[in-house]
Amino acid sequence: MFATGIENSVPKIKGGRIRVDEMESCGHYRHWRKDFDLVEELGLRFLRYGPPIHTTVLGPDRYDWEFADVTFAELHRRDIIPIVDLCHFGVPDFIGDFQNPDFPELFARYSAAFARRFPWVQLYTPVNEMFICAQFSAKYGWWNEEGTTDQTFVNALKHIVKANVRAMQEVLKIRPDAIFIQSESSEYFHAENPAAIKPAEVENSKRFLSLDLNYGHRVDSEMYEYLMDNGLTRDEYHFFLGNALHHHCILGNDYYWTNEHRVAADGMTRASGEIFGYSEITRQYYDRYRLPVMHTETNIAEGANGDEAVNWLWKEWANVLRVRNDGVPTVGFTWYSLTDQIDWDTGLREANGRVHPVGLYDLNRDIRPVGRSYKQLISDWREVLPTQSICLAVPVVPPSEYEGRGAERQRHEADRLRAYELTSEKRH
């Protein structure tokens, strides 16, 4: 599944006074038809996409579907398969932030309402980059609640991951063959001296927390104590263990130049650049969860030479082929995003209005060199990879086939299996 995405981050910054809306600043609200043209121009059938949560969810069980209705109708008409991103780094004003314990259930109800309105949608990323969302909002102090303690981090994390799990449960009631593609940052922390070994080990355990909870994977003893010391209760922990839906999931992971870190003796971290690279770190995540893998985000800024992004694309694709050839079931690749972004050079911490040139197209919708390279890569590889293993195929139903008999049989079988899962959970 070759894909790109429409960047739809909506965190609040500066004490909640400013809402960052990437769809607005990157021009998607004005140019969404053109953006869908560009997706087709690249030869893509998969698009990471979602409605803006802060203007769609107006209150408990109150929704404004105007923008979602027109855009998703157009995706359906074009037979573009959306991977629906329902929460991307922010929440509506009435929820406040990720410290609100009401968020998981409010989000689950929103997810159910979306699935009922668009029953032909099969692929979901309910909450994008759960670990990064909690870390930037509640540990680094950059977004939303701007928390800086372990307590605010754990509180945000448990609410975010519970929201993701509850959303999956609700969507499966409506679309039993739904597939959930996590988009989670794949991280690694390198000790820069012997005194930094212990803090690096802690960070290398902490990086798994969101996926451990999401997949019902038991955390290690040190992380269990960390979670319990900072606000997770035994009942909350057992909620995650008892509601694992990993068999409906694809391990989507993201990799950027900033995903590897140098750790100092005092625990401070800074970006190290690429050391291990995507393939080695992905194997670590795959060995832990044993799920099919999709590379769900990467990019790098086009620099002075003009070929930096092209070279990064080639390198990331070589890494994807490496993990695939090493036996990791790999089902997709994504350059994120379709167009350049605004202010991601500061991690959306500042509203400078500065273009971050990481898109396949610039904000005038003119193709960049990396866009031409990605288009060629898709053309070269899209027919080759399926023939290498006809068994390794995701059972995706395109929008145009949703009402077909084959798709109906698939949903019926998925519904039967889901009923068996729920019965088994009650017995245990």
For 51-71, what is each residue's pLDDT tens digit? 999 999 999 999 999 999 999
- Distance CA(415)–CA(169), nearest Å, equals 13
Cβ atoms within 10 Å of 397's Cβ, excluding its own:
22
- Distance CA(20)–CA(17), nearest Å, equals 10
Span 174-189, pLDDT tens digits:
999 999 999 999 999 9
Cβ atoms within 10 Å of 410's Cβ, excluding its own:
17
SS3 at position 41: helix
Q: Does residue 385 surpass a pLDDT of 80?
A: no
Span 224-234, pLDDT tens digits:
999 999 999 99
Determine the length of the chain: 428
Work out whether the CA dihedral 131, 283, 345, 360 comes out positive or negative: negative
SS3 at position 331: strand
pLDDT (average), residues 210-220: 98
Q: Does residue 287 surpass a pLDDT of 70?
A: yes
Q: Does residue 284 surpass a pLDDT of 70?
A: yes
Q: Does residue 423 surpass a pLDDT of 90?
A: no
Q: Grade residue 387 by pLDDT with cuts at 50, 70 and 90.
A: low
In the prediction, which pLDDT does 24 show?
Answer: 98
Residues 6+ apart with CB under 8 A from 240: 161, 162, 165, 212, 213, 214, 216
In the prediction, which pLDDT does 131 show?
Answer: 98
pLDDT (average), residues 102-122: 98
Q: Does residue 49 surpass a pLDDT of 70?
A: yes
Instruction: Residue 9: name the closest of 137, 118, 95 by CA.
Output: 137
Q: Does residue 337 surpass a pLDDT of 80?
A: yes
Record the pTM: 0.97
